[in-house]
Amino acid sequence: MEQTETSEKKARKRMSEKTKKRINNFVVAPISILVASFIRAICVHCFMLSFNFAPGGVTGIGTMIEFKTGFSTGYTNMIINAPLIILAFIFLSKSYAIKSTAAIGLASAGMVIMKQFDFPQYGVTAGGVIDPAAEPVLAAVACGVLGGVGVAMMIRAGGSNGGTDILAAFIQRKYQATNITWFIMGLDGIVIFVSFFVYGNNLTPVLMSLTQQFCSAMMGDVILTGFKSAIKYEIITDDPETLSAELIQKLGHSVTKMDATGMYAHSERALLICVVRKRQVSDFNNILKKYPNTFAYVSSTSEVFGKGFSR
């Protein structure tokens, strides 16, 4: 009888997981790709093109070409990414390639449509003149923040915005232990460096590009890991039982105990490990103050899974 109930629970769990996967693949992911693509189109048309600065990657190349020739960034985005998408279909995941194709196509179409219908741009008046009251740095910050949101949504959806992201995926697959961050930064840096000459040997577009890149990276990191981050305490104490009981009772998080030896005095003590939310740091510190013979150090964790946290 117990075996039958266990089998039924496992079957229900499998069905629940399949349902969640279907919802994610056919509802959440498409909506995320659509919204992220729309955000990307807004960033390019409403902020980058109005103040003439080029971020890294394919988008930066496209904005510089449009500045010089008037050829839409949307078309450039599709043309440069087309061979990368084909290679992604062949050598990478088909799901990844399809989602990336959808994101690139939607973002590019959005850029073209916005340009065609003269979609409003920040700091540009109805007559096409830059408003003196508009702040270029605000355009860079807004573009970075919105761009970071879009990138995080694409990563969660299992796709990419193309360009250096796809190149990075190729490198990561072949050399899994390689840190590709420097590779991406190098490519983006080249594009930003070239923008100095494209925009009339002016340093302002370069500084705006760097500001945009920084804000985008920070916002993306906050969305991807910031809401799951936590604080880890490691505590050396002579009174592990009482301290652990109080932490468990007041903070609602378990404590792990390990035996430790102080090498200065060769005394046997206990090492307690406890992970808590950032909002609980003050309460944790107040509890530690009650134990004067306790030594503790704190470190940040970028992501936490398991009981008491998100799964």
pLDDT tens digits for range 41-61 = 999 988 888 888 888 888 889
Q: What is the rounded average pLDDT of the residues 57-74?
A: 89
H/E stretch holding 167 reads helix 164-174
For the entire predicted model, the pTM comes to 0.73
Distance CA 135, CA 137 (A): 5
Please state, for a pLDDT cut of 70, what percent of the chain lies above it: 86
Distance CA 252, CA 256 (A): 13
The predicted pLDDT at position 178 comes to 54
173 pLDDT more than 80: no
For 217-268, the pLDDT digits (tens) are 888 877 777 666 688 889 888 888 888 888 888 888 888 888 888 777 778 8
141 confidence band (pLDDT: 50, 70, 90): very high
C-alpha distance from residue 258 to each of 233, 255, 302 (Å): 13, 10, 23
Least confident of 18-22, 71-75, 140-144: 18-22
Over residues 9-24, the mean pLDDT reads: 67
Average pLDDT, the chain: 82
**Lowest mean pLDDT, pick from 41-50, 126-135, 153-162, 163-172:** 126-135
Whether 106 shows a pLDDT value over 90: the answer reads yes
Average pLDDT of the residues in 196-215: 89
Domains of the chain: 19-224 (no CATH), 229-301 (3.30.70.120)
**Residues 152-165, mean pLDDT to the nearest whole number:** 83
Q: How far is CA 88 from CA 62, 74, 163, in A?
A: 21, 20, 11
Please report which confidence band the pLDDT of residue 304 belongs to, taking 50, 70 and 90 as the band edges. low
Q: 108: which residues sit within 8 A by CB, 6+ positions away?
A: 74, 75, 77, 78
**With 80 as the cut, is the pLDDT of residue 9 above it?**
no
Please state which of the ranges 76-80, 131-135, 300-304 shows the lowest mean pLDDT: 300-304
